[in-house]
Amino acid sequence: MILAEGMLKPGALKGKNILITGGGTGLGKSMGEYFLELGANIVITSRKLDVLLATAEEMMAAKGGKVIPIACDVREIEQVEAMWKEATGQLGQIHVVLNNAAGNFISPTERLSTNAFNTVLDIVLKGTSQVTLTAGKDWIAKKQAGVFLNIVTTYAWTGSGYVVPSAAAKAGVLALTRSLAVEWAKYDIRSNAIAPGPFPTEGAWSRLLPGDLVKKFDPAKKVPVGRVGEHQELANLAAYLVSDYSSYVNGEVMTIDGGEWLKGAGEFNNLDVIPEEMWDMMEASRGKKA
Ligand code: COA
């Protein structure tokens, strides 16, 4: 198995300047590391400058290249605009925006306060649209090409209980992705999304499912291929979608979940609990009737 291997050829992202929201930790960091390895310069943003500074140091020591950390709460438009000014000021042009920053609370919906609900909507939907609008307007004004890659989730189209503000917000991000893919293609701006299934991260897993809950709701058990994802697998897909190799891919959402959401959707998929002997019995009884 080559799960942990990079897929694109060396230098595939040379000359690209890529901005990653939520780039200091988790999946954002993993994707950033691979972009850096492929020759890109990256800007990483989040609310926590200390985390960003440490990540930037670590990444540059490991992979070389340039990593620019900029503190920015994507919910605050003034901070988003200041961050964009700083990023473009330092790098000249940003070629790719990876909207990865997210927030989520696992909870019965009726237990969420209005502020809790709005907090998730604000980070995921408002944050993504604010970064997208800020970047897109600047690209259009300067006649620069651009690529958006937005991280959504498979419950953006199915919806999901217990993560309702996240589901509503991610559905909005998916609509934003597909809408702008058409509207802004004339400006040479592409928009795509990735819907990842379970990829273990510190933030999402230990905080969203504290204590024994992770064991009790082992996500690997829901995945037909029988395992969770490797970060490099997601990084490979992301690198392809931000690279020029995917120039003809626009308005697409690529699912990378080992078949997880389809397993939940197919009416008879849970019949995999039936043992072979029982299928044998059913087959035998069918034979008798014939
Ligand atoms: N479940 C339900 N409600 C929660 C909650 C939880 N686990 N944690 C916080 N809230 C509520 C708060 O009580 C508050 O509502 P209130 O003012 O009515 O009391 C509201 O949500 C906002 O909380 P606050 O902590 O002030 O928000 P914040 O802006 O400081 O931080 C997050 C929000 C999402 C960034 C932060 O909670 C966080 O880092 N979460 C874990 C990381 C995460 O979600 N990662 C994303 C994985 S996809």
Question: Which of 119, 154, 162 is the pocket-test mutation for ligand 1 (most atoms within 8 Å of CB)?
Answer: 119
Q: Which residue range(s) make up the domain with 59?
A: 11-285
Residue length, the chain? 290
CATH assignment at residue 60:
3.40.50.720
Tokens of residue 208, six digits: 């969203």
248 is a catalytic site residue: no
Instruction: Please indicate, yes or no, if residue 1 is contained in any of the structural domains.
Output: no
Q: Is residue 228 part of a domain?
A: yes
Q: Over the chain, what is the mean pLDDT?
A: 95
pTM: 0.94
Reported as a pLDDT band with limits 50, 70 and 90, residue 3 is confident
pLDDT for 2 beyond 80 = no
CB 242 within 8 A of CB 147: yes
Q: Is residue 194 part of a domain?
A: yes
- Answer whether residue 100 is part of any domain: yes
CA 202 – CA 195 distance, rounded (Å): 19
What pLDDT digit, counting tens, does each position of 97-156 carry? 999 999 999 999 999 999 999 999 999 999 999 999 999 999 999 999 999 999 999 999
Q: At how many degrees (to 10) do helices 26-37 and 49-63 cross?
A: 30
Q: How many domains does the chain have?
A: 1
- Nearest atom (ligand 1) to Cα of 113: 18
> pLDDT class for 223, splitting at 50, 70, 90?
very high
Sequence-distant contacts of 171-174: CB under 8 A, at least 24 apart: 172/124, 172/125, 172/129, 173/99, 173/124, 173/125, 173/128, 174/150, 174/253
Tell me, yes or no, whether 203 lies in a domain: yes
Q: What is the pLDDT of residue 184?
A: 98
Catalytic: which of 34, 155, 240, 245? 155
